[in-house]
Amino acid sequence: MTELVRIRVQGTRTCVTLDRPHKGNSLSAEMVHALEAVISRCHEDGTTLLVLDAQGPHFCTGFDLGNLDEATDDALMARFVRIELMLQKLQSAPFITVALGHGRMVGAGADLFVACQRRILVAESSFRFPGAAFGLVLGTGRLARSVGAAAACDWVGSGRWVSQAEALERGLAHTCVDEAGAQALIERLHAESLRLDVETRGAVYAAAGQSLHRDRDLNALVLSASRPGLCERIRAFRAAAQELNDRSVKA
């Protein structure tokens, strides 16, 4: 796990750094397992503030599309379900969660950013939600509840890049700060996180409906991922993306 995420604990503050920069911090099965494990631990160890950041030029470029030739539809569906369950555990956490995003945030990587309560940009950033192009509905409900149904349907339906300015305007990200500003914000949020005990904060979040849509979100994912041909659709998507990239390089 330590090869994929770095964990630093300072009292009741837990900082988790995605540390797979050579792969754009894409979510391999092992990285998802590592994230789920640390989030689960934070649910039990008295953490009041969880901070997610990342090494390298990009926060998280999404689902790791490597080794597709060895995958089956059922195995891929199981991986997507594990991602959704990890994101739900993050979103329903009884403590304050903060994402410090930068660079590209794509698909499940953008969903990871969205699942955090406080979403901060610390450098130039852009977002994309391409999963619907291969028939997958992952994170759309969370996105719609954050930015509104119209924007979510536009972004997911078109698969276009969402600029930093648009992300801030729509509430996908809450603010953009420099490194010093990020540290000051984290200190303020840590102080805020100590105001309520974990049980009370969890009860407040539950009363606010933080976990209200979990079953619906999971059901939407499973129904979309269980359609036959998932592997082939992802392979076709990857091939089309590679062809487009090759054309842009030649141009």
Strand partners, 127: 105, 162
Q: Residue 42's pLDDT is what?
A: 97
DSSP strand pairing (118-128 vs 175-176): parallel
Q: Residue 209's pLDDT is what?
A: 86
In a domain, 139, yes or no: yes
Q: For residue 184, what are the domain limits?
A: 5-193
In a domain, 232, yes or no: no
202-244: pLDDT as tens digits: 999 999 888 889 999 999 999 999 999 999 999 999 888 877 7
Q: Which amino acid is at 237?
A: F
- Kindly report the pTM of this predicted structure: 0.95
In a domain, 94, yes or no: yes
Alpha-helical regions (H) of the chain: 29-44, 73-91, 108-114, 140-147, 149-158, 164-170, 179-193, 198-207, 214-225, 230-250
Alpha-helical regions (H) of 65-197: 73-91, 108-114, 140-147, 149-158, 164-170, 179-193
In a domain, 240, yes or no: no
What stretch of H or E contains 118?
A: strand 118-128
Closest C-alpha among 190, 188, 191, 234 to residue 63? 234
In a domain, 198, yes or no: no
Strand partners, 87: none
Number of domains in the chain: 1
Here the CATH number for the domain that contains residue 95 is 3.90.226.10
Q: Residue 65's pLDDT is what?
A: 86
Residues sharing a CB contact under 8 Å with residue 187, sequence separation 6 or more, in sequence order: none
Question: Consecutive 10-residue runs of the chain (251 residues): their mean pLDDT?
Answer: 84 97 96 97 96 98 88 95 98 96 98 98 97 96 97 98 98 96 97 95 90 93 96 91 70 58
In a domain, 189, yes or no: yes
Closest C-alpha among 223, 250, 217 to residue 114? 217
Q: Residue 246's pLDDT is what?
A: 67
